[in-house]
């Protein structure tokens, strides 16, 4: 839980930024997210975000600058310079309407895939750090180990051990020339205005790396039976149609996706089990499905794809 002084200060900064943008501000702050790796507060049309405690100021500034240069792909910040607040780096953004979680049929799979393809085809600027997807997966597994004993933990750790070192953040990624988001899921899409085009948000993990990582979460959901085949096929077809380089133009995409999809499955399972341990509760049906997938993964080595280019 976020310390109260930080949350109050973040709300005050969001209010000040909102008032600076409009004198007709309907006052009232709302906490949109309160997690150890990010606190997000909205005040009217302005959003303030406190980034993870270990954020590097220079790296975050580079990511913010890139977001300002790609306004048709990424939501630009209101200011590309982070502010220090109670030991955290804080940034300010215009509010964007998110995907409706209560309307799964409206999930913008085609828009997400097209945005990813456009991002992946954008030349990465010099000096951009590596995409942080593998590092986040490794942190989730570390938290699982720290959480305490659980019957499902062994399945997750066995699946994790089958992955190549780069996917466990134990070695450099094999290909670092592609611009990647690093943490793609439907919560990273917003519209501004509310009826406008979709844009990607959250630059914390943005960097260069293996583009298959950005397709890995929907691929993992599909492999675990959590995403219907027709939705996965819509996503994959749109990515290919937009010229995305992470998978071949035609044929079986799975050799290119397998390692990253397995890593995201292990990450999701590790988080689920760690949360269940802390809460002292059993796994729910969805959580058990990703643990079961880890059981299957541990018995079959991952496919290792050769690099392909457009």
What are 80-91's pLDDT values in tens digits?
999 888 888 999
The phi and psi torsions of 279 (rounded to 5 degrees) equal -85, -10
> Which is more confidently placed, 20 or 70?
70
Tell me which residue of 175, 201, 178 sits closest to 121, measured CA to CA: 178
Judging by DSSP bridges, how do beta strands 189-191 and 198-200 pair with one another?
A: antiparallel
Average pLDDT over the chain, rounded to an integer: 90
| Domain boundary assignment for the chain | 4-95, 104-297
What is the pLDDT, as a whole number, of residue 307? 44
pLDDT in tens, 203-235: 999 999 999 999 999 999 999 999 999 999 999
DSSP strands (E only) in the chain = 29-35, 38-43, 46-50, 83-85, 88-94, 97-98, 178-180, 189-191, 198-200, 207-209
What is the pLDDT, as a whole number, of residue 35? 77
Q: How far apart are CA 36 and CA 47, in angstroms?
A: 18
What is the pLDDT, as a whole number, of residue 29? 72
Superfamily (CATH H level) for 4-95:
Phosphorylase Kinase; domain 1 (3.30.200.20)
pLDDT in tens, 95-107: 999 998 888 778 9
Task: Retrieve residue 98's tokens.
Answer: 């998110």
- Assigned architecture for domain 104-297: Alpha-Beta Complex (3.90)
What is the pLDDT, as a whole number, of residue 194? 86
What is the pLDDT, as a whole number, of residue 3? 59
Considering the entire predicted model, what is its pTM? 0.89
Task: Retrieve residue 302's tokens.
Answer: 């991952």
pLDDT in tens, 9-30: 766 666 666 656 655 555 667 8
pLDDT in tens, 272-294: 999 999 999 999 999 999 999 99
pLDDT in tens, 115-147: 999 999 999 999 899 999 999 999 999 999 999
**pLDDT(309) > 50:** no
Average pLDDT estimate for 34-55: 86
**pLDDT(7) > 80:** no
Q: Where are the alpha helices (DSSP H) in 164-309?
A: 212-223, 229-241, 254-279, 285-297
Confidence of residue 69 (pLDDT cuts 50, 70, 90): very high
Unique residue bearing structure tokens 């027709």: 230
Q: How far apart are CA 99 and CA 85, in angstroms?
A: 29
What is the pLDDT, as a whole number, of residue 44? 83
Confidence of residue 4 (pLDDT cuts 50, 70, 90): low
Q: How far apart are CA 134 and CA 142, in angstroms?
A: 12
Same topology, domains 4-95 and 104-297? Answer is no
Judging by DSSP bridges, how do beta strands 83-85 and 88-94 pair with one another?
A: antiparallel
pLDDT in tens, 247-260: 999 999 999 999 99
């Amino acid at each position: 839980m976020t310390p109260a002084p930080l949350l109050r200060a973040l709300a005050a900064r969001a209010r000040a930024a909102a008032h600076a943008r409009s004198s007709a501000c309907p006052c009232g702050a709302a906490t949109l997210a309160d997690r150890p790796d990010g606190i997000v507060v909205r005040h009217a049309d302005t959003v303030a975000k406190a980034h993870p405690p270990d954020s590097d100021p220079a790296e975050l500034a580079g990511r913010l600058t890139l977001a300002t240069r790609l306004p048709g792909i990424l939501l630009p910040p209101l200011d590309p310079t982070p502010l220090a607040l109670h030991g955290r780096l804080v940034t300010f953004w215009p509010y964007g309407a998110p995907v409706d979680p209560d309307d799964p049929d409206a999930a913008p799979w085609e828009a997400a895939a097209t945005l990813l393809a456009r991002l992946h085809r954008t030349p990465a600027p010099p000096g951009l750090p590596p995409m942080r997807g593998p590092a986040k997966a490794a942190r989730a597994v570390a938290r699982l180990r720290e959480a305490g004993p659980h019957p499902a933990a062994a399945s997750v750790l066995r699946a994790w051990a089958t992955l190549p070192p780069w996917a466990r953040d134990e070695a450099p990624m094999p290909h670092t020339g592609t611009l990647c988001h690093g943490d793609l899921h439907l919560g990273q899409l917003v519209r501004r205005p509310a009826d406008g085009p979709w844009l990607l948000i959250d630059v914390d993990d943005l960097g260069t790396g293996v583009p298959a990582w950005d397709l890995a979460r929907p691929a993992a959901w599909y492999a675990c039976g959590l995403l219907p085949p027709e939705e996965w096929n819509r996503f994959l077809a749109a990515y290919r149609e937009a010229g995305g380089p992470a998978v071949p133009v035609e044929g079986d995409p799975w050799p290119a996706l397998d390692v990253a999809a397995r890593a995201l499955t292990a990450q999701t399972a590790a988080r689920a089990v760690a949360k269940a341990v802390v809460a002292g509760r059993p796994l729910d049906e969805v959580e058990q499905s990703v643990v079961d997938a880890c059981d299957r993964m541990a018995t079959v080595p991952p496919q290792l794809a050769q690099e392909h280019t457009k």
